[in-house]
Amino acid sequence: MPVKYSDLKKKLKIDIKKPEQTELAYLTHFLHGAGNGTSKYYQAGATQYAETILDMVAEPWYQGYLPIKWDIPFPPPENPKFKFIDLFAGIGGFRMAFQNLGGKCVFTSEWNHYAQKTYEANFGEVPFGDITKIDEKEIPDHDILVGGFPCQPFSIAGVSKKNALGRTHGFLDETQGTLFFDIARIINEKRPKAFLLENVKNLVSHDKGKTFKVISETLRELGYTIHYRVLDGKYYAPQHRERIIIVGFNKDIFLGNEEFTFPEMPDNPPMVIEDILEKEVDDKYTLTDNLWEYLQKYALKHKAAGNGFGFGLVKFDGISRTLSARYYKDGSEILIPQEGKNPRRLTPRECARLQGYPENFVIPSYVSDTQAYKQFGNSVVMPLMEDVGRSITQVLLKKNKHVKSVI
């Protein structure tokens, strides 16, 4: 009889309490990898942890714990078509997109342990932490690498803030800008058939185009043809969210002749804000008189100075501005009008809908609203990534008739 993951979670004390709980990452990756050839990468770490938890360790320790019934919202596919890895995973927007396409995630990394909590609640796997500490040789072989590497060094808001603080940005930002090169070293070692990278629209123009030139030339030097386009999430959810999407294909396999095209966007956005709003909302999301007065004065001040800064009061039959990770501060970029009351913030569930997440996506009760806002603000528009992923996998699965997959 299969063991429920929820029971195993209690037995093995899978509980994320702090950053960099690598032992839990090894354990959950091992459990997900059983039977598909990737568990060997995680067995030693999983065994070391299990021996500290279990009173008596069987030989092998996991005998009796497999197979697992994945009683989680988004279990791994039973008969996967391809393997992928999920870098800078956040709360799993890419993972959900590629699982929906029949992919099996064999490695994931996300440094924020609050995001790790949400990720584990939905996928039953604890991500590894700091990507800079991960040896690329210890990552399983995979068909597709996906990742939305940190955008703060390249975003308009991020650049403005760092300039004001006298700090560097882009590749000169020692904490985030160079994380692209961690992607590059993994690509160089593992040679996936394809990759999908996502970042803010401003990446293309940052530092007069020099940053994107370095990125694109690096990827080409690694032996990949690249395709890129700025796409807007408003065609998949009622939010204006432009992002640069970079797709690459291994020249050793495709010889630069892959028949890849980005999905075509419809003429008009199919959804409006009213479609994602909850019917009843707690009063705690309504702005206080002081905050609402402050936001109105702030907007008037900048309007008088000829600036475009100000709050964003949405129209129910329209779309919203871009949801950002700072939304928790005052909600000013996306405010919902209320008759006879001050405007309100979106709820975390509405933020999930705004990013295209399904209703059964779990927002854990132990994750605060503040953290949830940050997580969804940093996320991707999931169905857009699924549509781009579909175009990638169509190329791979067509080629796989002649080239063996790592599955």
Residues 6+ apart with CB under 8 A from 133: none
Amino acid identity of residue 55, one-letter, is: D
Under 8 Å between Cβ of 285 and 328: no
Q: Which of 151, 187, 246, 396 is catalytic?
A: 151
Query: 78-112 burial, b if ≥16 CB within 10 A, otherwise e?
Result: eebbbbbbbbbbbbbbbbbbbbbbebbbbbbbbbb
**How many CB atoms neighbour CB 341 within 10 A?**
11
351 is catalytic: no
Residue burial 207-245, b: 16+ Cβ < 10 Å; e: rest? beeebbeebbebbeebbbbbbbeebbbbbbbbbebebbb
C-alpha–C-alpha distance, residues 196 and 94, integer Å: 10
CB 392 within 8 A of CB 196: yes
Within 13 Å of residue 317, how many CA atoms lie on the same side as its CB? Answer: 0
Element (H, E) at 199: strand 194-200
104 contacts 95 by C-beta, under 8 angstroms: no
Count of other CB atoms within 10 angstroms of residue 314: 22
Query: Which residue numbers are catalytic?
Result: 151
